[in-house]
Chain A
Amino acid sequence: MKKSKLMMIIFLTPAIFSYMVIFLYPSIRTSFMSLFRVENVTDAMSKWQFVGLDNYQALKESSLFVQSMKNLVNIWFWGGIIVFVLAIVFSVILTSGVKYKSFYRAIIYLPNVVSAVAMGTMWMQYVYSSRYGLFKEVFESIGLDKMAAIQWTSPDMIFISLLIAYCFGMVGYYMLIFMAAMENIPISFYEAATLAGANVFQKFYHITLPLLKDVFRTNIVLWTISSVAFFIWSQVFSPLNPEPGTVTPMVYMYQMVFGNNMVVTDRNVGAGAAVGVILTLIVVVMFVVTTRLLKDEEYEY
């Protein structure tokens, strides 16, 4: 017994140590920092000024932060619906025995592999361009002139443009996860259902969906995390100053910590830390809620 306890300690120590240094210490320090006013992110603790919950209060009053939270909720909700619906539809199609499945799977997953900066730039400067853009050319060539005249990068449309571009890139990732889960469901279930006279929709609704509950929960948490961490796409669509249409809490935090790009302004890293704490709480709450709602069922195949 003694020997194996020693082994346990030896093997666990590096992992625990790394976890504490890389995750726990920065989280605690950041939460602590959110109660102070800090000028520069590398300032020594002696330079911090205690302000209590003032940072959080300032966030509540900041119209830009409030707008960023609204954008976050919209991305999470509408983007989530679009991505999940498309991912499930594609995975149902691809698991139903269509030819060239690997090819389609690779194609749909491809946008996820390409760097977000490259994708974003392509969407922004080519697809959505008002002068020579892809959408404009395609819509004009099929005679939909009103659609061709839409200014995709104007302040009114930029959120929708951002959402379309982002969802396009993310569908493949979730589709793969759903496909893997669907392929695990034994065919005998579907055969039995066919014998009992079920059509495709009934099979989907009564067999596939319930057995995907587990994967759903995982995907919702993953989607929440990537929505909360939504940053790169916003930066690419609004490279210089944040815009109300694309700002997200991470963009706001970045500006608080590193200062505005053009002007020399006061930086308050404490406010950035406060944003970080709020975002962490959101993810934790989402995780707890989804775990409660979509209970882990033990199915044996």
Chain B
Amino acid sequence: MKKFRSVLVLTLIVMMVFTACSPSNEGNSNQEVVAQDDSGLSGELVYWSMWNSTEPQALAINEAIEDFMKIHPNVKIDINWNGREIRKTLQPALDNGQKIDIWDEDLERVTKNWGSYALNLDDYITKPYANTDGKPYEEAVMGNLFDLARHFSDDGSVYAVPYQPFVFAFMYNKAHFETAGIESAPQTWEEFNVACEKLKAAGFVPMTTDDAYIDTLLGYHLSRYKGYEWVEELVQDKSNDMWNDPAVMKTAKDFQNLVDNGYISETVGSNKWPAGQQDIAAGTVSMYLNGTWLVNEIMGSTGPDFEWGTFSYPAVEGGANGVSAANYGAQAFQINKDSESKEIAFELLAHLTTGKWDSEIANRSFGVPVSGSAAWPTQLLEAKVVFEQLDTVYPWAGGIQADTDKLPIIAEAFTKLLGGKYTAEEFIEALK
């Protein structure tokens, strides 16, 4: 018996060792195809991706890269699917001199945090590439994204290639709006309240949010009244005097109104992400202030037939900004300035962001394509309208996160306001 048991245990251990040490083929695209290569490109690239290997963007990018390697058989590309951990792992790896030719993350983050490691792309975007029909690259893709890239950099040059753009606006259930008899999306705060009333009468919960995004409502509303620079000053003001400004009281009262009228979900005080956005998916709630990525994020629960609409955060009376101001941005690729294969790297980036693969990646992730000619997914057609009218860039959440120390206090007080635990006056007191 003893011998049999020890043999069994040994077999189990050996099996475990073999499964643990088996090479994982996820994301390692090594192809040894010997074929004709007209362009004469050859080299090896390492790409560190912000996506997890199972996300739709990753699956599409993986196929696009395999396609690229078929077209250029002498090019070998290794992919490392970091996931969002790349925010913490990339810089130490670069400091260590590890060979990483391309990486991607949010456009603002790559430019501000890692701009010093990245190649200046001003000369690359003025040339034509395989899918740009002879036009320079920068004319074949969305122009205002390059303006944004320049806006984030210290010297006004382009250090990143944007893709998967997003805009932060109200995402809503169009079917609900039709049932409630709302003809067009609200543009002002009064229209918004009217729409909420109609939705409530039709038996829906007009809006909700999650702890992850709750501060965006406050930040956007304040920015609508006074502009985002004022909001950034407000949260960084150590004397806390600026909270006495009448705009703050108006904002607090506007939200208290929503709560008193029953326009906000009753669980909003305790919603832990993704509880709130799952309510949208379940069809009980109509509106949610979020990024256009929401379509993709809850696609698993909604299915592709969900009727999505988008409208920009409404304007307020006497406000500094209107619906043409919003937080928009993109993810972006960067090329290591010490890379040995800079031209190939940019060819790859052009391959991913123009032509067939741009549309593929956008379609599979229900995201926005970058090249001008591509069609937007049906779910984001209203978002396209919002995008096209944007003229002012808000920072994330309208600037309310500018002081990371104060942010938890602001978020907590605002959660209590929306949850009905604080009145507008108590909310402002809590912040002083």
CB of A112 within 8 Å of the partner chain: no
Question: Smallest distance from the beta carbon of A70 to chain B beta carbons, Å?
Answer: 13
Q: In the bound complex, what is the Cα–Cα distance between A264 and B211 (angstroms)?
A: 19
Contact A152 B88 (CB under 8 A): no
Contact A240 B211 (CB under 8 A): yes
Q: From the candidates B96, B401, B415, name the one contacting A263 in the complex (CB within 8 A).
A: B401
The closest CB in chain B to the CB of A257 belongs to B88
Contact B404 A263 (CB under 8 A): yes
Q: From the candidates B108, B113, B270, B409, name the one contacting A151 in the complex (CB within 8 A).
A: B270
Q: In the bound complex, what is the Cα–Cα distance between A157 and B412 (angstroms)?
A: 12
**Contact segment of A21-29, A205-213, A241-249:** A241-249
Q: From the candidates B270, B404, B408, name the one contacting A244 in the complex (CB within 8 A).
A: B408
Question: Smallest distance from the beta carbon of A178 to chain B beta carbons, Å?
Answer: 32
Contact B421 A156 (CB under 8 A): yes
Q: In the bound complex, what is the Cα–Cα distance between A62 and B238 (angstroms)?
A: 11
Q: Pick the most buried of A125, A157, A255: most chain B CB atoms within 10 A of its CB.
A: A125
Contact A125 B272 (CB under 8 A): yes
A260-B401, A262-B396 known; A130 vs B87 contact (CB < 8 Å): no
Contact partners of A240 in chain B: CB under 8 A? 211-212, 273
Instruction: Determine the interface band of chain A, counting residues with CB < 8 A from chain B.
Output: 35 or more
Contact A264 B408 (CB under 8 A): no
Contact partners of B411 in chain A: CB under 8 A? 241, 243
Q: In the bound complex, what is the Cα–Cα distance between A269 and B416 (angstroms)?
A: 32
Q: In the bound complex, what is the Cα–Cα distance between A172 and B412 (angstroms)?
A: 33
Question: Smallest distance from the beta carbon of B393 to chain A beta carbons, Å?
Answer: 14
Question: Smallest distance from the beta carbon of A52 to chain B beta carbons, Å?
Answer: 21
Q: In the bound complex, what is the Cα–Cα distance between A156 and B417 (angstroms)?
A: 12
Question: Smallest distance from the beta carbon of A125 to chain B beta carbons, Å?
Answer: 7
Contact partners of A263 in chain B: CB under 8 A? 395-397, 401-402, 404
Contact partners of B272 in chain A: CB under 8 A? 124-125, 153, 237
Question: Smallest distance from the beta carbon of B112 to chain A beta carbons, Å?
Answer: 5
Q: Pick the most buried of A129, A157, A259, A263: most chain B CB atoms within 10 A of its CB.
A: A263
A 1-42 to B, binary, CB cutoff 8 A, 1 in contact else 0: 000000000000000000000000000000000000000111
CB of A95 within 8 Å of the partner chain: no
Question: Smallest distance from the beta carbon of B295 to chain A beta carbons, Å?
Answer: 20
Contact A244 B421 (CB under 8 A): no
Q: In the bound complex, what is the Cα–Cα distance between A152 and B419 (angstroms)?
A: 13
Contact A131 B275 (CB under 8 A): yes
CB of A48 within 8 Å of the partner chain: no
Q: From the candidates A43, A154, A242, name the one contacting B419 in the complex (CB within 8 A).
A: A154
Q: Pick the most buried of B211, B395, B397, B404: most chain A CB atoms within 10 A of its CB.
A: B404
Question: Smallest distance from the beta carbon of B332 to chain A beta carbons, Å?
Answer: 13
Q: In the bound complex, what is the Cα–Cα distance between A263 and B398 (angstroms)?
A: 11
CB of B269 within 8 Å of the partner chain: yes
Contact partners of B95 in chain A: CB under 8 A? 40, 42-43
Contact partners of B109 in chain A: CB under 8 A? 264
Q: In the bound complex, what is the Cα–Cα distance between A155 and B411 (angstroms)?
A: 9
Q: In the bound complex, what is the Cα–Cα distance between A10 and B407 (angstroms)?
A: 55
CB of B151 within 8 Å of the partner chain: no
Contact A41 B267 (CB under 8 A): no
CB of B260 within 8 Å of the partner chain: no
Q: In the bound complex, what is the Cα–Cα distance between A123 and B4 (angstroms)?
A: 42
Contact A151 B267 (CB under 8 A): yes
Q: From the candidates A153, A241, A258, name the one contacting B408 in the complex (CB within 8 A).
A: A241
Contact partners of B408 in chain A: CB under 8 A? 64, 67, 241-244, 247
CB of B91 within 8 Å of the partner chain: yes
Contact partners of A241 in chain B: CB under 8 A? 212, 401, 407-408, 411
Contact partners of B212 in chain A: CB under 8 A? 239-241
Q: Pick the most buried of B113, B211, B212: most chain A CB atoms within 10 A of its CB.
A: B211
Contact B92 A264 (CB under 8 A): no
Q: In the bound complex, what is the Cα–Cα distance between A102 and B402 (angstroms)?
A: 54
Contact partners of B388 in chain A: CB under 8 A? none
Within 8 A of A (CB), among B320-378: none
CB of A202 within 8 Å of the partner chain: no
A 224-247 to B, binary, CB cutoff 8 A, 1 in contact else 0: 000000000000011111111101
CB of A280 within 8 Å of the partner chain: no
Q: In the bound complex, what is the Cα–Cα distance between A259 and B402 (angstroms)?
A: 12
Contact partners of A157 in chain B: CB under 8 A? 270
B 258-296 to A, binary, CB cutoff 8 A, 1 in contact else 0: 000000000101111101000000000000000000000
Within 8 A of A (CB), among B60-114: 87-88, 91-92, 95-96, 106, 108-109, 112-113
CB of A63 within 8 Å of the partner chain: yes
Contact partners of B401 in chain A: CB under 8 A? 241, 260, 262-263, 265
A154-B269, A155-B415 known; A244 vs B92 contact (CB < 8 Å): no
Contact partners of B88 in chain A: CB under 8 A? 258
Contact B412 A243 (CB under 8 A): yes
Question: Smallest distance from the beta carbon of B311 to chain A beta carbons, Å?
Answer: 23
Contact partners of B269 in chain A: CB under 8 A? 151, 154-155
Q: In the bound complex, what is the Cα–Cα distance between A67 and B408 (angstroms)?
A: 10
CB of B198 within 8 Å of the partner chain: no
Question: Smallest distance from the beta carbon of B281 to chain A beta carbons, Å?
Answer: 13
Q: From the candidates B96, B106, B404, B407, name the one contacting A42 in the complex (CB within 8 A).
A: B96
Q: From the candidates A152, A238, A264, name the one contacting B270 in the complex (CB within 8 A).
A: A152
Contact partners of A41 in chain B: CB under 8 A? 92
The closest CB in chain B to the CB of A67 belongs to B408
Contact A131 B267 (CB under 8 A): yes
Contact partners of B412 in chain A: CB under 8 A? 155, 243-245
Contact partners of B211 in chain A: CB under 8 A? 153, 238, 240, 243
Contact A265 B270 (CB under 8 A): no
Contact partners of A247 in chain B: CB under 8 A? 408
Contact partners of B416 in chain A: CB under 8 A? 154-156
Contact partners of A128 in chain B: CB under 8 A? 270
Question: Smallest distance from the beta carbon of B410 to chain A beta carbons, Å?
Answer: 10
Q: Which positions in B face A, CB cutoff 8 Å?
A: 87-88, 91-92, 95-96, 106, 108-109, 112-113, 211-212, 267, 269-273, 275, 395-397, 401-402, 404-409, 411-412, 415-416, 419, 421
A-B contact pairs, 11 of them (CB 8 A): A62-B405, A64-B406, A67-B408, A129-B275, A151-B269, A237-B272, A244-B408, A244-B412, A263-B395, A263-B397, A264-B113
Given contacts A154-B421, A241-B212, 16 further A-B contacts (CB under 8 A): A40-B95, A42-B92, A125-B272, A129-B275, A131-B267, A151-B270, A157-B270, A238-B211, A239-B212, A241-B401, A241-B407, A243-B412, A245-B412, A255-B404, A264-B108, A265-B401
Q: Which positions in A face B, CB cutoff 8 Å?
A: 40-43, 62-65, 67, 124-125, 128-131, 151-157, 237-245, 247, 255, 258-265
**3 shortest A-B CB distances, which residue pairs?**
A151-B270, A154-B270, A153-B270
